[in-house]
Amino acid sequence: MVIPLISTDKHLMGVIQVLNAKDKEGKIVPFSKDDEVLLTHFANNASIVLQRANMTRTMILRMIKMSELRDPKETGTHVNRVAGYAVDIYDCWAVHHDIPENERTKFRDMLRVSSMLHDVGKVAISDTILKKPARFTPEEYKIMQTHTIYGASLFTSTNSQMDDLAQQIALTHHENWDGTGYPGWVDPFSGEVQKADDTGNALGKKGEEIPLGGRIVAIADVFDALCSRRVYKDPWGEDEVLSEMRKMAGTKFDPELIEIFFEILPNIRQTQNHFPDKPEK
């Protein structure tokens, strides 16, 4: 029996196929009218779920495109590479930590999308700073740091694990393992400092205070930035990049995740080659 999955605007999204109805003795029998009614009801519910999922995916892709239009560095290939690196790092970490396959699959899918939104908060940064063809002044860099807070504040759902992960990654992907990163212990909605040093500035999150997603995307984002051309620098050579990544283990990066990064380096290179930057015009 095959039942179509029809959207509310009458588009075919797929089909559900069920094979081999059986009676109580396990013998194959024809499907009944009741089977058809039950499966049709299930197909209607499945169609609604698929349509909502497609709407969510479309909105996310539009947010990513919006970031790309605002920030010349935030290209589609960059966010796809960061997402690919992040998923590869997580998969290896999950195997080392004996994470069950169903939990691993669920987190992996959310991580791929959430990591692509890591810099979406840059839409709130002035073009004067965002598109400046040179390094930032200290004052400009301070303003640029607020993109983490702006990005996190976009994800407000209290019952969505995807929103929770996207918020964590947007907020913490510039935190450092040793606590010297930003924005630190700041509430993304109120802007209030939650933990401060003696001068009243927010303390940086450190070690495992930084959520796993943020620690992973930090590695993926920096690696891709070092390998890429920027207005103020040429791309680094691979040996130089890998040396720098190794050097920052235990200070900027989670040392365990850096070991995993090097363990899966062939996968990282494969993702890098799969999403090359477009040739400059």
d(CA 140, CA 137): 5
- Residues 105 and 209 occupy one common structural domain: yes
d(CA 131, CA 133): 6
CATH number of the domain within which 124 lies: 1.10.3210.10
Residue 101: give the domain boundaries. 74-274
- Residues 150 and 132 occupy one common structural domain: yes
The predicted-structure confidence for 146-190, as pLDDT tens digits, reads as follows 999 999 999 987 678 989 999 999 999 999 999 999 999 999 988
Type of residue at 136: F
Which tokens go with 32? 């009944």
The predicted-structure confidence for 87-115, as pLDDT tens digits, reads as follows 999 999 999 999 999 999 999 999 999 99
Q: Residue 254's pLDDT band (boundaries 50, 70, 90)?
A: very high
The predicted-structure confidence for 5-59, as pLDDT tens digits, reads as follows 998 888 898 999 999 999 989 999 999 999 999 999 999 999 998 888 788 778 7
- Residues 43 and 94 occupy one common structural domain: no
Q: Any idea what DSSP says for residue 121?
A: G
- For residue 107, being part of any structural domain is answered with yes
Domain end (from 52, 70, 88): 70
- For residue 185, being part of any structural domain is answered with yes
- Residues 126 and 228 occupy one common structural domain: yes
Q: Residue 65's pLDDT band (boundaries 50, 70, 90)?
A: confident
Q: Considering the chain, what is the average pLDDT of its residues? A: 91
pLDDT over 90 at 252, yes or no: yes
- For residue 280, being part of any structural domain is answered with no
CATH number of the domain within which 2 lies: 3.30.450.40
Task: Based on the residue annotation, tell me whether 27 is a catalytic residue of this protein.
Answer: no
- Residues 203 and 239 occupy one common structural domain: yes
- Residues 105 and 238 occupy one common structural domain: yes
Type of residue at 189: F
- Which one is catalytic: 122, 195, 206, 281? 122
Domain end (from 10, 43, 70): 70
d(CA 37, CA 128): 61
Strand pairing partners for 17? Answer: 2
Q: Which residue carries 């993702």 as its tokens?
A: 271
d(CA 39, CA 1): 9
- For residue 230, being part of any structural domain is answered with yes
Which of residues 68 and 186 earns the better pLDDT score? 186
Q: Taking the CA atoms of the chain, what radius of gyration do you get in angstroms?
A: 23
Whether the Cβ atoms of residue 238 and residue 227 lie closer than 8 Å to each other: yes
Q: Residue 132's pLDDT band (boundaries 50, 70, 90)?
A: confident
C-alpha dihedral, 128 to 152 to 82 to 103, nearest 10°: -170
Number of domains in the chain: 2
Q: Which of 37-51, 187-201, 254-268 has the highest mean pLDDT?
A: 254-268
Q: Any idea what DSSP says for residue 159?
A: S
- Residues 43 and 127 occupy one common structural domain: no
Q: Which residue carries 């999204």 as its tokens?
A: 13
**What is the mean pLDDT of the segment spanning 126-145?**
91
Q: Any idea what DSSP says for residue 197?
A: -
pLDDT on residue 280: 59
- For residue 279, being part of any structural domain is answered with no
pTM of the model: 0.83
| Alpha helix stretches (DSSP H) within the chain | 33-70, 76-96, 101-116, 127-130, 138-145, 147-152, 161-172, 212-227, 238-247, 255-263, 265-274
Q: What angle do CA 204, 125, 207 make, to 5 degrees?
A: 15
- For residue 5, being part of any structural domain is answered with yes
- Residues 210 and 78 occupy one common structural domain: yes
d(CA 192, CA 48): 40
Domain end (from 19, 51, 70): 70
Type of residue at 170: A
- Residues 2 and 89 occupy one common structural domain: no
Whether the Cβ atoms of residue 275 and residue 230 lie closer than 8 Å to each other: no
Q: Give φ, ψ of 192 to 5 degrees.
A: -75, 140
**What is the mean pLDDT of the segment spanning 213-220?**
98
Q: Which residues of 211-244 are buried (b: 16+ CB within 10 A; e: fewer)?
A: bbbbbbbbbbbbbbbbbbeeeeeeebeeeebbee
- Residues 2 and 110 occupy one common structural domain: no
Residue 200 region by backbone torsions, left for phi larger than 0, else alpha for psi between -120 and 50, else beta: left
